[in-house]
Structure 1
Amino acid sequence: MFKGSIPALVTPFRDEAFDEAVFRAFVGWQIDEGSHGLVPCGTTGEGATLDSAEHARVVAACVEVAAGRVPVIAGCGSNDTRHAIALTRAAKDAGADASLHVPPYYNRPNQEGIYAHFAAIAEAVDLPIVLYNVPSRTITDISVETMERLARIANVVGVKDATGNLARVSAQRAACGTDFAQISGNDDMALGFMAMGGVGCISVTANVAPRLCADFQNACMDGRWDDALALQDRLYPLHAALFSDASPGPVKYAVNKVRPDFLPGLRLPMTAPSEASRRAVDAALAHAGLV
């Protein structure tokens, strides 16, 4: 159900309000350029700064534009289990195909607490769940053993793995089975991730270069590894530059370069990228042939 290039969509703001018209055009462009799925309201979409009404509206707008052409995996993560359930219910009501959930951050539960959090969401809402393991942001790590337990729950269908540890792909493949969808959360590691059994990437770079990222994933899925490597070489400087300052500042700056209608505004506590970061993005866009 979930594979290929899946952009973790940035959320456009105009005068600090959600710019729905620009977002709808952006989502349509992503689909036209070959993206295989969409993730609204994730980390890159500044989901943590959206209130519940805004969150529901962003997901609904994405679903409406997608119109079943590609799956929509709505970011619904929270460190409050009840809030995560409420966001997931709203995503289901909007027509999302799945929800994306981080383990609780700040609270720092143990592995039993992480399991209980996801199990409660799965029981409360009949919607597929993609786990999002990103210890650099949450501090907590979904262990392979806990993931194996979670994979036995019918509607826990995969993981976005942003651990940065490629060996986890093989360990999780052995523990969770080959039908458990492993999706890279790191653009720069997606080539190795795919070779080890991954099925796609929830991508930051695809916001800026959706066609190239889709072509890269298609090459991987077709086993055209030489083509994939050539695209990796073309995209790698952009993968790095988009994290040369706090995300999503650099990626919003980059999107504005390729789509001037998309203003690069951020919500506090996020601020504009540094001059050095902007220079790195400009050089990477040129290297990729996007400007």
Structure 2
Amino acid sequence: MFRGAITALVTPFKDGKVDEKVLRELIEFQIAGGIDGLVPCGTTGESPTLTHDEHDRVIEITIDAVKKRVPVIAGTGSNSTAEALRLTKHAYEAGADGALIACPYYNKPTQEGLYQHFELIAQNVPIPVIPYNIPGRTGVNMSPELIFRLSKIKNIVGVKEASGSIKQMNDVLD
């Protein structure tokens, strides 16, 4: 499904606005370099700082510029389940090949709350979903048990594990 080197894109700005020209140039540079996929609007792309319109537009520009040459896995995380679902639906409708969804930040949901968050989103979109565990940014860590539970949901196809814990990574792999 998704394999190889997949770049998390930065979101270029000029005078406080998304620089669409430079974003397109960055995408071309990545593809020319042989990248295997792109992630717009992830944490590297400053997604929590984008307005809803900017977020939607960055996804649209990326999909348009890529022209199906490599997969686009749209970052669609939010601390609001409803907003994460809206972002994921928009990414699907715009043509994204998948969605990378960070754990809700700030709210510090329980493991059951995280399960319900990802389950609801995955059940309402047909594209592959990849939960993103990045506790240093979100304030909440997905347990290996939660990751195992989520793996049973049909279109949850993987996890981006960025806890920084080798033990946790080994526990997930076991």
Counterpart Cα distance in 1 of 2:66 and 2:97: 11
Aligned equivalent of 2:171: 171
Counterpart Cα distance in 1 of 2:154 and 2:146: 15
Counterpart Cα distance in 2 of 1:36 and 1:152: 26
Aligned equivalent of 1:47: 47
Counterpart Cα distance in 2 of 1:163 and 1:52: 27
Counterpart Cα distance in 1 of 2:144 and 2:71: 26
Once the two structures are TM-superposed, the CA of residue 173 in structure 1 deviates from its matched residue by 2.2
Aligned equivalent of 1:160: 160
Counterpart Cα distance in 2 of 1:99 and 1:10: 17
Equivalent pairs counted in the alignment come to 174
Aligned equivalent of 2:68: 68
Matched, 1:4 2:4: yes
Aligned equivalent of 1:77: 77
Counterpart Cα distance in 2 of 1:22 and 1:32: 15
Counterpart Cα distance in 2 of 1:4 and 1:163: 21
Once the two structures are TM-superposed, the CA of residue 4 in structure 1 deviates from its matched residue by 1.9
Aligned equivalent of 1:144: 144
Once the two structures are TM-superposed, the CA of residue 29 in structure 1 deviates from its matched residue by 0.8
Counterpart Cα distance in 2 of 1:170 and 1:46: 29
Rg (Cα) greater in structure:
1
Choose between structure 1 and 2 for higher RCO, CA contacts under 8 A separated by at least 6 residues: 1
Give the TM-score taking structure 1 as reference length.
0.58
What secondary structure sits across from 2:165 in the alignment? coil
Aligned equivalent of 2:57: 57
Counterpart Cα distance in 2 of 1:136 and 1:95: 30
Q: Deviation digits for residues 39-84 of structure 1, max 9, x if unmatched?
A: 1001111111111111111111111121111111101001100000
Aligned equivalent of 1:28: 28
Deviates more, 1:71-80 or 1:162-171: 162-171
Please tell me the residue identity of whatever aligns with 2:61: A
Once the two structures are TM-superposed, the CA of residue 38 in structure 1 deviates from its matched residue by 0.4
Once the two structures are TM-superposed, the CA of residue 171 in structure 1 deviates from its matched residue by 2.0
Larger helix percent: 1
Aligned equivalent of 2:100: 100
Counterpart Cα distance in 2 of 1:12 and 1:152: 37
Counterpart Cα distance in 1 of 2:120 and 2:71: 24
Q: Deviation digits for residues 94-115 of structure 1, max 9, x if unmatched?
A: 1011111111111111111010
Once the two structures are TM-superposed, the CA of residue 90 in structure 1 deviates from its matched residue by 0.6
Matches within 5 A, 1:233-252: none
Once the two structures are TM-superposed, the CA of residue 166 in structure 1 deviates from its matched residue by 2.2
Q: Deviation digits for residues 170-198 of structure 1, max 9, x if unmatched?
A: 32223xxxxxxxxxxxxxxxxxxxxxxxx
Aligned equivalent of 1:89: 89
Counterpart Cα distance in 2 of 1:145 and 1:18: 39
Counterpart Cα distance in 2 of 1:81 and 1:99: 14
Q: Deviation digits for residues 95-154 of structure 1, max 9, x if unmatched?
A: 011111111111111111010000010112222111110111111111110111100001
Please tell me the residue identity of whatever aligns with 1:152: K
Once the two structures are TM-superposed, the CA of residue 23 in structure 1 deviates from its matched residue by 0.6
Give the TM-score taking structure 2 as reference length.
0.96
Consecutive unaligned residues of structure 1, counting only runs of 5 or more, are 175-291
What secondary structure sits across from 2:107 in the alignment? coil
Cα RMSD, aligned residues only: 1.1
Please tell me the residue identity of whatever aligns with 2:110: N
